């Protein structure tokens, strides 16, 4: 997905994470932010596209504490109900990485 500039609105981010022999789904709902030249100037690395900036409603420290790795999947819209249903059927615990994070 190529993206530059204008925010997309509400998005769902997710990542299947394995810790030892246990799997869990990291799930968050957020809003994309505009990425402009001023924001691009603050990047220390990874200046290639695409870039999507997402506000998940938590601090970067909290996200880093929760994160199971980089490279989360992102899709436009709030798909939390479908993801919650899938995880329940697959017996996968959900770890929220957004405003609902514990």
Rounded to whole angstroms, how far apart are CA atoms 101 and 94? 10
Distance CA 35, CA 56 (A): 16
CA 15 to chain centre: 8
Spell out the residues 6+ positions from residue 43 whose beta carbon is closer than 8 angstroms to its own: 51
Q: Does pTM surpass 0.85?
A: no
The SS3 assignment for 46 reads coil
Domain-wise residue ranges, the chain = 10-96
- For each of the chain's 102 residues, which pLDDT tens digit applies? 345 566 778 999 999 999 999 999 999 999 988 877 777 777 656 666 666 788 999 998 999 998 877 789 999 999 999 999 999 999 999 999 999 988
């Amino acid at each position: 997905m190529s993206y530059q500039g204008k925010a997309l609105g509400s998005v769902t981010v997710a990542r299947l994470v394995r810790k030892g022999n246990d799997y869990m789904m990291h799930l968050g709902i957020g809003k994309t932010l505009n990425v402009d030249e001023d924001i691009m100037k603050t990047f220390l690395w990874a200046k290639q596209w695409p870039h999507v900036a997402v506000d998940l409603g938590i601090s970067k420290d909290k996200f880093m504490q929760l994160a199971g790795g980089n490279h989360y999947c992102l899709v436009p819209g709030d798909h939390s109900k479908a993801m919650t249903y899938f995880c329940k059927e697959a017996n996968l615990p959900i770890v929220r990485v957004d405003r609902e994070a514990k």
